[in-house]
Amino acid sequence: MTAEVLAALKPKAGGRYADGTVGGAGHAVSILDTSSPTGWLYGCDRDGAAVEAARTRLAAFAGRFEIRQGNFADLADWVPAGSCDGVLLDLGVSSPQLDSPKRGFSFQQDGSLDMRMDTRQTLTAADLVAGSSEQELARLFWELGGEPESRRLAKAVVRGRQSRKFETTRQLAELIEKISPRRGRKAHPATKVFQALRIAVNDEIGSLKRGLAAAVEILKPGGRLAVITFHSLEDRIVKEFGRERTCPYTCPGGVDVPELRQPREPKLRWVTRKAVRPGEVELRENPRSRSAQLRVLEKFSVATVGDRRN
């Protein structure tokens, strides 16, 4: 969604931007190119291979970017507060990660049951499957994957690991398909379980919540935050974050009782209240983008707050 991201962030010469999920640097290249000759980019990614690939691809923009390996949840630890005109968070798994069997993100090819975005961490999906209780696995499958057969599948996994350790993606996918046959469904029966394990291994929900707050901290007044989500759980968190930060009042106890509302200045405003989706051309060229949704928020400036009061 490069065109949509550029329309949201409006990169300009002299502007400063942060890409918290730099990946293959596709968006980073576009931002630096559009903000030539003096735009600056802070970039990070949890995947060390992605960071190296991004540095190579951005070589033509030498002197105009800083790329680090790390979690976008920590952006505010090294990017100056109030310094950025725009922040981009493109969530989910990248194509290189999905296409590499050894990374274990996909069951399309057999590979290690890994799923770590940052290979420096120790916890893998295999560890989670081997060490979690039946109740914990059922909770993960339901809460993070939306799997309606979460309890049944968790019970099968626990029973299955008694005779063998699940070490590969195919072993786990085949067990799930055996317990829950496809029966004409388009999606593989293991899709939601794999999503849940990936989110849990990488603490994606905790990272997203911390990352949204960090993004607002490093934005200038008037700066914009663009977030691309790929499943309903991520999107719901972004919407809830936006709803809370755009609300012009608070309520004691967190319960919205009109008589108890206390006015306050909102920190953000919605630029796109409805999610922006990929266009037909992109969907044809990149079918994996079909579930992408872009939401954009803007940090209030003093002038904007003044306009609201008039």
**Is residue 286 pLDDT above 80, yes or no?**
no
pLDDT digits (tens, 9 = 90+) for 27-56: 999 999 999 999 999 999 999 999 999 999
Residue 149: what pLDDT?
Answer: 95
Residue 306: what pLDDT?
Answer: 47
pTM score of the predicted model: 0.91
Residue 81: what pLDDT?
Answer: 97
Cβ atoms of 230 and 292 closer than 8 Å: yes
Residue 309: what pLDDT?
Answer: 45
pLDDT digits (tens, 9 = 90+) for 157-211: 999 999 999 999 999 999 999 999 888 778 899 999 999 999 999 999 999 999 9
pLDDT digits (tens, 9 = 90+) for 120-148: 999 999 999 999 999 999 999 999 999 99
**Average pLDDT, whole number, for the chain?**
92
Place of tokens 């949840």: 73
pLDDT digits (tens, 9 = 90+) for 5-32: 999 999 999 999 999 999 989 999 999 9
- The mean per-residue pLDDT over the stretch 103-114 comes to 93
